């Protein structure tokens, strides 16, 4: 019985299970302290990425999705998709001398796009790391 519970816990935290995807707490940007006047590093049809420097030796990421973007379950699935992008980008996870904070803003027209198009747009941001 205990092994079954352990298997269920492992299934929830698996990278292939979208419900177990989260950034570790130290890699999340506290959005309240993110500078409002930070520059927009890149913009596509559905996303905008803002960038700011931090005094840490690693990068941090954050996602902002407004309530105008579908229901809660749609916003959460989009957030998980962006977090997966952060985790799968090797440049984001490496240690650097001067870390940066990345915040991805999700536009309200994102629901009109196909999932493949959204993944292609996010991959264009990979060069910023």
The secondary structure of 15-32, three-state, reads CCCHHHCCCCHHHECCHH
Return the structure tokens found at 40.
Answer: 């927009």
Q: Which residue would you say has higher pLDDT here, 14 or 100?
A: 100
Q: What fold is seen in the domain 24-128?
A: Ribosomal Protein S5; domain 2 (3.30.230)
Q: Are strands 47-53 and 60-65 parallel, antiparallel or unpaired?
A: unpaired
Q: 3-state class of 60 per DSSP? A: strand
Domain spans in the chain, listed from the N-terminal domain onward: 24-128
pLDDT digits (tens, 9 = 90+) for 71-97: 898 888 888 888 888 888 777 777 777
**Whole-prediction pTM value?**
0.73
What's the confidence (pLDDT) of residue 14? 35
């Amino acid at each position: 019985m205990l092994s079954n519970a352990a298997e269920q816990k492992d299934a929830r935290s698996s990278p292939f299970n979208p419900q177990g995807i989260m950034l570790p707490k130290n890699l999340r940007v506290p959005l309240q302290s993110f500078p409002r006047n930070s520059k927009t590093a890149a913009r596509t049809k559905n996303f905008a990425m803002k960038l700011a420097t931090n005094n840490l030796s690693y990068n941090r990421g954050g996602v902002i999705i407004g309530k105008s973007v579908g229901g809660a379950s749609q916003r959460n699935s989009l957030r998980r998709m962006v977090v997966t992008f952060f985790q799968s980008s090797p440049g984001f996870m490496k240690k650097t001398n001067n870390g940066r904070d990345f915040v991805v803003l999700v536009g309200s027209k994102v629901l009109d796009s196909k999932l493949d198009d959204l993944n292609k747009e996010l991959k264009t941001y990979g060069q910023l790391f």
